[in-house]
Amino acid sequence: MAAPPLVQLKDIALTFGGTPLLTGAELSVSTGERVCLVGRNGSGKSTLLKIAAGLIEPDRGTRFLQPGASVRYLPQEPNFAGVATTLEYVEAGLADHSDAHRARYFIEQLGLSGNEDPAQLSGGEARRAALARVLAPAPDILLLDEPTNHLDLTTIEWLERELAGRRTALVIISHDRRFLANLSRSTVWLDRGETRRIERGFSGFEAWRDEVLAEEERDQHKLARKIVAEEHWLRYGVTARRKRNIRRLGDLHALREARRSYRAAAGNATMTANAADMSGKLVIEAIRVSKSYQDRPIVADFSTRIQRGDRIGIVGPNGSGKTTLMNMLTGALAPDEGSVRLGVNLTMATLDQHRESLDPNATVAEALTGGGDTVSVGGKPRHVVSYMKDFLFTQEQARTPLGKLSGGERGRLMLAQALAKTSNVLVLDEPTNDLDLETLDVLEEMLGDYAGTILLISHDRDFLDRLVNAVIVPEGDGRWVEYAGGYSDMLAQRGVDLVREQPKAEGRKSQKALKPTRAAAQTKRRLSFHQKHALETLPKAIAALQETARTLHRRLDDPGLYARDRQAFDETSAALATAQSELAAAEQKWLELEILREDLEGS
């Protein structure tokens, strides 16, 4: 028997400004459940979470809260009014029976002292204080709206472990795929005002969502064809049996009304980076560069060589110097020591993470054009409204002040500004902030097809794994080390993750100090016969699976297959899903064995 819900929303409806936002949304969470709430930006996720927290009253529907159950809600924008310090803010959120020491404990765990002035907090510090406030009381239900926003990787991974170890029921809104996949066990999809739920975590959501949307599209196609057939019958069919004709005319009106009332899923953004002429083969060469602030080493004796087509990720805790290193590599900041050489024919486009630099009083059109009706895209004029639509802005938003935009809308606007410029080097500082999952997919696809070089700062582990081919991380005392592969590859090579703290007596070990320890453990190891055989045979198997997938794709590209042979369409779709799954597993296995082989040969 299913456990009774701690909180339950039924048939929730809410209208803002005459436009229905929620039209029949539901949410139910029982003890220990871990639910992720997903949907497009502007679909009403945060509003539904506020209704669950009891902060907003819906126009229609019911909210049930189990008597005695405690709820804590993490807002995107915490309110620090009336408190003098962060510790006071966290203590104000404790329940009467809560241990007061928990406030101090979580403040320290999240890297704060408790004495910070809330008015002077950065975005990351405000987010950590808000997290401490909701975690300290140990509530029965945690409602978390974008908990990873403004957090660095070390804090995100600490928060994951903290939440995974609790029995608290969770409802999470986040654009961090890895965070959702690691924590969720159920998924609620808010789409066009209504909710659908599957008892699978986020890792199984996207494939299921695509199936649902494809089925909807097929149903709408059938409906359109049925309407055409009914109209033809009414015009040219037998004129006798008048009552039957009238009934059938009523059925046609019902079909037309069903088509009119159907709300299609929102489209995706259209992103294209305007490529400049090809750069030289060498893009950036840094030789033993160093930079210090107030005697604190930020970058010490770092060297790297970046070539055309490289995709380099820079990761690390907030305050570790990621932006400083990026600015030195791109020539925006001179090093104290060492030299940076930029290659020939470089054209850089930069996306800055500081969205507060946008003039809140300027309109969307003004931000893109500087005044006027056209925006220069790749050196060619284009009407601003047409370009805005590529990034999911409506025509009516052309005159919207930037101060009225949501975080996701500001993120899309800055991407539109950066991608309008021609470039062969993209410099991206936290490009994924506040973007919904569908827009992230489009951004990843665009960057994957980009012919130039990419330098990227990001705290999104999944985004890094999908995009970069090398990661630069801090090792302490200003030392930075470059690793081949994505974020997960870096962790495998390091042998220690970013959140592990070294004992104070030993100090922080550099990568050079870590290598002998790993090598010593591996000197007696070698690849087994089965591992060697797999390394030799997997490339051929991968090539065969790729060819199979291409063949099946070509079959499904036939627009008439579904109507002509439904069974063949379903069988081909299932075969393609199987081939893609086997291909992903084979590629992952080969990558793991190749990394193991390199580690053993280097020992």
DSSP assignments along 342-406, one per residue: E-SS--EEEE-S-GGGS-TTSBHHHHHHSSSSEEEETTEEEEHHHHHHHTT--GGGGG-BGGGS-
Domain identity same for 301 and 252? no
pLDDT score for 497: 63
Relative to beta strand 453-457, strand 425-429 is: parallel
Q: What is the pLDDT of residue 253?
A: 63
Per-residue model confidence (pLDDT) at position 335: 92
CATH assignment at residue 538: 1.10.287.380
Domain that includes residue 195, residue range? 5-207
Question: 296 with 203, same domain?
Answer: no
Strand ranges (DSSP E) for 49-185? Answer: 60-65, 71-74, 141-145, 169-173
Question: Which pLDDT score, from 0 to 100, does residue 341 have?
Answer: 94
- Residue 331, Ramachandran bin (φ over 0: left; ψ between -120 and 50: alpha; else beta): left
- Residue 392: CB atoms within 10 A of its CB come to 23
Q: Do residues 553 and 471 share a domain?
A: no
Same domain for 145 and 38, yes or no, is yes
Which of 189, 207, 225 represents a domain boundary (last residue)?
A: 207
266 within a domain of the structure (yes/no): no
Whether 106 and 220 map to the same domain: the answer is: no
* Judgement on whether residues 374 and 331 belong to the same structural domain of the protein: yes
Residues of the chain with pLDDT under 50: 238, 240-244, 265, 499-525
Q: Is residue 522 part of a domain?
A: no
Question: Are 154 and 229 part of one and the same domain?
Answer: no
Residue 561: which H helix or E strand, with range? helix 561-564
Shared domain for 187 and 306, answered yes or no, is no
> Which of 339, 391, 319 has the alpha carbon at shortest distance from 41?
391
265 DSSP 8-state letter: P
118 is a domain residue: yes
Residues 478 and 542 in one domain: no
Check which CATH number belongs to the domain holding 486 and give it: 3.40.50.300
Which of 473, 489, 505 is where one domain is finished? Answer: 505
Residue ending a domain, among 218, 234, 261, is: 261
Neighbours of 516 (CB within 10 A): 10
Q: Are residues 418 and 373 in the same domain?
A: yes
Please name which of 75, 53, 74 lies closest in space to residue 9, comparing C-alpha atoms.
53
Q: Is 264 exposed, middle or buried (0-12, 13-18, 19+ CB in 10 A)?
A: exposed
173 three-class SS:
strand
Q: Identify whether 524 is part of a domain.
A: no
- 198 and 233 belong to one structural domain: no
Judge whether 517 lies within some domain.
no
Query: Residue 470 pairs with which residues in a beta bridge?
Result: 312, 484
Q: How far apart are CA 183 and CA 178, in angstroms?
A: 9
Same structural domain, 321 and 387: yes
The pLDDT assigned to 382 comes to 86
What pLDDT, on the 0 to 100 scale, is given for residue 573? 84
Q: Is residue 234 in some structural domain? A: yes
Angstrom CA distances, 493 to 357, 530, 595, stand at: 38, 23, 8
Residue 145 located in a structural domain: yes
Number of domains in the chain: 4
**Each residue's pLDDT tens digit, 431-488:** 887 777 777 887 888 888 888 999 999 989 998 998 898 999 998 889 999 999 889 8
In a domain, 594, yes or no: yes
